[in-house]
Amino acid sequence: MNKILIQQPPRVVFGEGALHDFKEDFIALSLQSLYILTIPPVLPLLDGLLSEFKRNNISVLVNTTIDGEPSFADFEKILKEARHFEADSVVGIGGGSVLDVAKFLATMLKNEQEIRSVVGIGLLKERKTYMACLPTTSGTGSEVSPNAIFLDERDGGKKGVISPFLVPDAAYVDPALTLGVPQQVTAATGIDALTHCIEAYMNRFAHPVADVWALEGVKLISKNLIAACKDGNDMEARSAVALGSMYGGMCLGPVNTAAVHALAYPLGSEYKVAHGLSNALLLPYVLKYNRPEGDDRLAHIAIAMGIFEHGPVEEQADSAIGKIEEIIKECGLPSRLSEIGIKKGDIEKMADGAIQVQRLLKNNIKELSKKDIIEIYKRAF
């Protein structure tokens, strides 16, 4: 059994009303200068929260400038503003991009390290600022992970900062915050969460502890994502997908993702395709290419989905991939790169980018060369 390191927020609140718990908990901390990162659609949900903070003499500065996947240049502007405000606490209320920025901001506010010097694994030296995360999408699981991903405008690549200092002090997962999310975003972020669970389970460094989270996440998301997409006010479905997303995030620290994410990164950096959609476009094709090495684990995934509990392993694996393709289709997402304007002539360039993401490719259950990556892109085209 592999050694595993589990690092989670010391306080996790899940369920309807978690936003209220955050308010009460934060006021009790007696902090005075709160910097909130969020997005404009969320602001109406925060009116009561902000009024209560004002009544308790807590100064609040709200930043809503994060639009899409953040770059280091975007981050530098936010860092300058937060330092000028003299924030003593940072809270992210939004999707994965907002949470990633909030986490990194809390580590860098009182840190003398250069931003690009901490890109990679375990290079951050400290965090002196309180930080909490409240997700408004069910996708990245960033609220419980030690990861933050940024676009490096210097070379167009996606870069990860991975550190225990990025694990929040508290995570408040309130499914009610996801009710206003549009169908396409619900679908894409939901497939992202499903991908986290699948890649953590079909992983060279898979571990029985993370396997429990991964398979339960597969079960919850696969059985509820379509319902959450078709009826955005279905609280039962929203809650199930939110919990599955959190389980996927819990897998990211000890195990992490693999080839699907590595191949998805160039779609975001080259074509500005949303991260969740990039994963949805590539997930079935990577799973097919990982066979037969991945068949045993795909069979377990089929069982978790409740679709094929008995029979030959190969047939169970087929059924798992088929179910994933069905979910992607029913949620209204495209299934081929050509459907979103990817050019076939750019495949080799994308492969050049993907092969650089060795921190994820090394986790893949089947070793992939650049030639293999090109073939997967062609099959997905």
pLDDT at 357: 94
CATH number of the domain at 183-380, please? 1.20.1090.10
Q: What's the mean pLDDT in 312-321? A: 95
pTM of the model: 0.94
Confidence of residue 33 (pLDDT cuts 50, 70, 90): very high
Does residue 180 have a pLDDT over 90? no
Does residue 182 have a pLDDT over 90? yes
**DSSP-assigned beta bridge partners for residue 93:** 134
Q: What's the mean pLDDT in 76-101? A: 97
Chain segment 34-71, per-residue pLDDT in tens: 999 999 999 999 999 999 999 999 999 999 999 888 99
Q: What's the mean pLDDT in 348-359? A: 94
Does residue 99 have a pLDDT over 80? yes
Confidence of residue 308 (pLDDT cuts 50, 70, 90): confident
List of residues 6+ apart from 101 with CB closer than 8 A: 37, 66, 70, 74, 75, 78, 92, 148
Percent above pLDDT 90 for the chain: 91
Confidence of residue 138 (pLDDT cuts 50, 70, 90): very high
User: What's the CA gap between 297 and 254, in Å, rounded?
Assistant: 18
pLDDT at 156: 78
pLDDT at 69: 86
Q: What's the mean pLDDT in 289-310? A: 93
pLDDT at 269: 81
pLDDT at 1: 74
Q: What's the mean pLDDT in 245-259? A: 95
Confidence of residue 153 (pLDDT cuts 50, 70, 90): confident
**DSSP-assigned beta bridge partners for residue 135:** 94
User: What's the CA gap between 87 and 65, in Å, rounded?
Assistant: 17
List of residues 6+ apart from 304 with CB closer than 8 A: 215, 216, 218, 219, 222
pLDDT at 158: 85
Domain with CATH 3.40.50.1970 in the chain: 11-178
**DSSP-assigned beta bridge partners for residue 147:** 162
Q: What's the mean pLDDT in 355-378? A: 96
CATH 1.10.3720.10 is held by the domain 11-178: no
Q: What's the mean pLDDT in 112-127? A: 94
Kindly report the average pLDDT of the chain as a whole number: 95
Token readout for 291 is 């066979």
Chain segment 215-238, per-residue pLDDT in tens: 999 999 999 999 999 999 999 999
Domain with CATH 1.20.1090.10 in the chain: 183-380
Does residue 9 have a pLDDT over 90? yes
Q: Give 269 or 139, the one with higher predicted confidence.
A: 139
